[in-house]
Structure 1
């Protein structure tokens, strides 16, 4: 979970730098891709969390 929070922080930082600094728009795109990947990962993880077997 700490890794996901760290990646979210990195994505926000890249997004801010991409918006503020002229010519670094690609950093904003990279930040958005990281956020989308995290959302997909969390969605898959929470979907599968309820399907664990009880022994």
Structure 2
């Protein structure tokens, strides 16, 4: 998930540098959404691991 977010961020940066504002904005929006989903899943996994008795890595 994080890999996809980084990929869309790179696409957004390249598109912005080349002047494609619409594509850059859409790619940046997708990257933000994917990053938030990644954070939610990561935090949920850490909480589940803590509740099951395993120390977080």
TM-score (norm 2): 0.50
- Structure 1: runs of 5 or more not aligned: none
* Paired residue total: 50
- Structure 2: runs of 5 or more not aligned: none
Q: Does 1:25 align with 2:55?
A: no
More helix by share: 2
TM-score (norm 1): 0.51
Residues 12 and 23, structure 2, Cα contact 8 Å, conserved in 1: yes
Q: Deviations over 1:1-55 (max 9, x none)?
A: xx52x22331221111221112x2222222332222222332244135313545x
Residues 10 and 31, structure 1, Cα contact 8 Å, conserved in 2: no
